[in-house]
Amino acid sequence: MPADWRTAARVLLAAWGDAVRVSSAVERYHAILRPHLAVHRRLSTEMLALIAVWHNHRVFTRGIHKGKNLLQLSGMTDVPTDWLAALGYPSDQAFLPPPPTTAAVALAA
């Protein structure tokens, strides 16, 4: 190795030595993207952006982060937990009929 590269190589090797090596993050994204790729055979930039929005807004259903999404874990406090609401679409609640009032229930009986 050339002498002028040795300092940079030491810094690089030290950084690699301190880095955490896991494949679970790569495997997780592969598992998320694989069903889409199996159907469409390609992944457009737009679809990758939609998948990223979905992934960042999905709420953990178990574990120590239950009830939070990735954006909340990164320190953002006022973020929606519904990825469609984050894109500006109305929530699922907007499409539900209003709950029956007591008068309507009494008339129906």
**Tens digits of per-residue pLDDT, 59-108?**
888 888 898 888 888 888 888 888 888 888 876 666 667 766 665 555 55
Confidence of residue 4 (pLDDT cuts 50, 70, 90): confident
pLDDT tens digit string along 5-59? 888 888 888 877 776 565 676 777 778 788 877 787 787 888 888 888 888 888 8
Helix (H) or strand (E) holding 105: helix 102-108
DSSP 3-state of 76:
coil
